[in-house]
Amino acid sequence: MAKVTSYDVAKRAGVSQSAVSRTFSNGGKVAADTRAKVLAAAKALGYQPNVLARSLITGQSGMVAVIVSQTSSRYYPEIVELLAGALERAGKKMLLFYTDGRIDRVEAVLQEVGKYQVDGIIATTQFAPDKREMIRALNRPMVLMNRLDPQGEFASVICEQTLGGAQLAAALVNAGRHRVMLLSGPKDNFVARHRLMGALDGLGSAHLDTLAGDFSYESGFNAAHQLVSAKPDAIMCMNDSMAMGVIDGLDRLGVQVPEQIWVTGFDGSVAGALARYDLTTFAQPLPDMVNDSVELLIGQMDSPDESPQSLVHQGALRVGSTAPL
Amino acid sequence: MAKVTSYDVAKRAGVSQSAVSRTFSNGGKVAADTRAKVLAAAKALGYQPNVLARSLITGQSGMVAVIVSQTSSRYYPEIVELLAGALERAGKKMLLFYTDGRIDRVEAVLQEVGKYQVDGIIATTQFAPDKREMIRALNRPMVLMNRLDPQGEFASVICEQTLGGAQLAAALVNAGRHRVMLLSGPKDNFVARHRLMGALDGLGSAHLDTLAGDFSYESGFNAAHQLVSAKPDAIMCMNDSMAMGVIDGLDRLGVQVPEQIWVTGFDGSVAGALARYDLTTFAQPLPDMVNDSVELLIGQMDSPDESPQSLVHQGALRVGSTAPL
């Protein structure tokens, strides 16, 4: 089937192709009666103006690049789904880019993003400082989600990770826990690092030791044996996926949660709230953070000259059954 | 910052803009020394050929539309993540379209898809028969995932849902279950309907009654009370999310799984395999299905004249602890 072109519409409407093009362009100027003729002809012929072709004129494609570091955390699909929904409601489509959680892939991903006519970028990934020039060269509105730009050049929406870690740790200490093991996230991960700093602050002398995790369920499961060998009374995991892995690992070792050891997560994921896990965790207000990210991005598209904002959300303790605070 | 254009590159390289354009087009012909000059100039200036502009020439944008019906099943994020990964490996980007699980939104979504210069479409959604013309008009390679085109016009990758339902049901009956309640999925959902038909076939007179679910965890949780009131010895749920909901609902009612009632799921989701749920389920080979879908799609792009294939996968029983078959 031959595709209906703007020339077909122009012919049927008895106007110029340029009039058709202007009718379907944002801000294109065209006389009211010409516009009416074009729309009638377009409807009759089933004409679909190609938004990508149009984007070459208007500079708007309707697409937003979402860059996520697909770590093995099971939280990422939840973030992607919420972002897709929020962008959809804002009339934008999500074009997805993965970095595999490897900071050395960021450069390749930024080059990829640069090849597409996206209206903006939402990134949940870490950028090395030397990538700043590359990001500037993309010349697109950008919002960092759960990453902060220390120079304030790029907008960001974050949750108070350090404070959250400290609050959760202090709550454990106040509840009488004095031998607390930590399971960290990936070393080069912004969120993991800040949560850990907060936890260490809040624990003080109640901190026994820290084992290295990678945010995956499996790294939690596999660490269970080594974690209990230190005879802790609580295990703080720097995300929910690892906490679920630790709990399953402890189940397998016959160690009872919370009777023998308390376990806490971090995220407030849907998975962690499942009744059979019912994690005590520090919950980020993820839907709000996602909505704010999309709103900031749309704001930057509409007013490119305003200085980028940084929004800081406060999370909240969610007390489940794995640590009855 | 002004964007570097192909004209800037042409000027620096001392060649025509058309030579620059041909250098960055798939299959574009250009002399070797011209190409070398263009590449050197492009590198020096940090030129990023816009793939969308180029797509107007080559007809290839590198984007694949993925249409999913975002039901409340927690399986969908898993599908989307696998698709994004498989497309990434095939050098394609995922542009995501949601139908909210409402068949009446399919038309609007197809119109949206038509506006983007995508190289192909992977759809996990139901199409009403009267949308066939619309899909043809899109004039793009398309693969249906877990949906079958009865007319064989569109390629598809499915899992044997009906046979799966029958096998799981027969295994329950053979294990001595004779009072089996069913929890169905959405009525207009292809997968849910076929699973239910198979289950009814396999159960025969062991079928007590069927309650209506909608694939969501919540619909399982809320149905638990009514399901047990029929005094069943097993509950077959048409997906894993509902089975997890039923289990949590039974936990709350003090009904023990599997001691008092067996519960089965359907999907073989990552969530359902969590140690504290450990569902007995009929598992689809989702990673294989996703890889095949992407492969079929790429095949259609490369050889548009070959007739569309339909691949049928066999799932397999996964025996967990919720029904010790």
CA atoms of B272 and B83, how far apart (whole Å) = 20
Q: Which residue has the higher pLDDT, A85 or B209?
A: B209
Span A161-284: which CATH code? 3.40.50.2300
Res. A150 pLDDT band, cuts 50 70 90: confident
Q: Which residue has the higher pLDDT, A1 or A211?
A: A211
CB contact under 8 A, B88 and A111: no
Neighboring chain B residues of A49 at a CB cutoff of 8 Å: 115
State the burial class of residue A130 (Cβ atoms within 10 Å of its Cβ: 0-12, 13-18, 19+). exposed
Outline where chain A has alpha helix (H). Answer: 6-13, 17-23, 32-45, 51-58, 76-89, 106-114, 132-138, 161-174, 190-203, 217-229, 240-253, 286-302
CB contact under 8 A, B271 and A275: no
Joined together, the tokens standing for residue B157 give 């990758």
The predicted structure's pLDDT at residue B103: 63
Nearest to B115 among A51, A251, A276 (CB): A51
Please compute the mean of the pLDDT values over residues B7-26 and round it to a whole number: 82
CB A233 within 8 A of CB A180: yes
Distances (CA, A) of A321 to A264, A273, A274, A277, A324: 10, 10, 11, 8, 5
Q: Does domain A6-58 have CATH number 3.40.50.1370?
A: no
DSSP letter string, B190-223: HHHHHHHHHHHHHHGGGEEEEEE--SSHHHHHHH
Q: E-assigned strands of chain B?
A: 63-68, 93-98, 120-123, 142-145, 155-159, 180-184, 207-212, 234-237, 262-264, 281-283, 310-313, 316-318
Q: What tens digit of pLDDT does each residue of B309-323 get? A: 999 999 999 999 999
Q: What tens digit of pLDDT does each residue of B229-287 get? A: 999 999 999 999 999 999 999 999 999 999 999 999 999 999 999 999 999 999 999 99
The predicted structure's pLDDT at residue A17: 83
Domain ranges of chain A: 6-58, 63-160+286-315, 161-284
Instruction: Report whether pLDDT(B136) > 80.
Output: yes
Q: Does domain B63-160+286-315 have CATH number 3.40.50.970?
A: no
Instruction: Report whether pLDDT(B288) > 90.
Output: yes
CA atoms of A76 and A78, how far apart (whole Å) = 5
The predicted structure's pLDDT at residue A112: 85
Helices A286-302 and A76-89 pack at an angle, to 10 degrees, of 40
Instruction: Report whether pLDDT(A148) > 60.
Output: yes
The predicted structure's pLDDT at residue B25: 62
Nearest to B277 among A55, A251, A276 (CB): A276
B56, closest residue in chain A (CA to CA):
A53
Q: How many CB pairs under 8 A join A and B?
A: 126
Give the best residue of B21, B48, B80 to mutate against chain A (max A CB count within 10 A): B48
Q: How many residues does chain A have?
A: 325
Q: How many residues does chain B have?
A: 325
A86, closest residue in chain B (CA to CA):
B98
Distances (CA, A) of A296 to A132, A299, A303: 20, 5, 10
Nearest to B96 among A1, A94, A251 (CB): A94
DSSP-based three-state secondary structure for A113:
helix
Report residue A210 CA to chain centroid gap: 26
Q: What tens digit of pLDDT does each residue of A256-299 get? A: 999 999 999 999 999 999 999 999 999 999 999 999 999 999 99
Give the best residue of B276, B279, B286, B322 to mutate against chain A (max A CB count within 10 A): B276
Q: Which residue has the higher pLDDT, B132 or B230?
A: B230
CA atoms of A274 and A267, how far apart (whole Å) = 14
Fold match, A6-58 / A161-284: no
Give the strands of the sheet with A93-98, arranged side by side.
Answer: A310-313, A155-159, A142-145, A120-123, A63-68, A93-98, B93-98, B63-68, B120-123, B142-145, B155-159, B310-313
Please compute the mean of the pLDDT values over residues A35-62 and round it to a whole number: 73
Give the best residue of A274, A286, A321 to mutate against chain B (max B CB count within 10 A): A274
Query: Which stretch of DSSP H or E encloses residue B288?
Result: helix B286-302
Neighboring chain A residues of B271 at a CB cutoff of 8 Å: 271, 274
SS3 of chain A: helix, strand, coil, percent, to 5: 45, 15, 35
Q: What share of chain B has pLDDT > 90, as a percent?
A: 56
Instruction: Report whether pLDDT(A146) > 50.
Output: yes
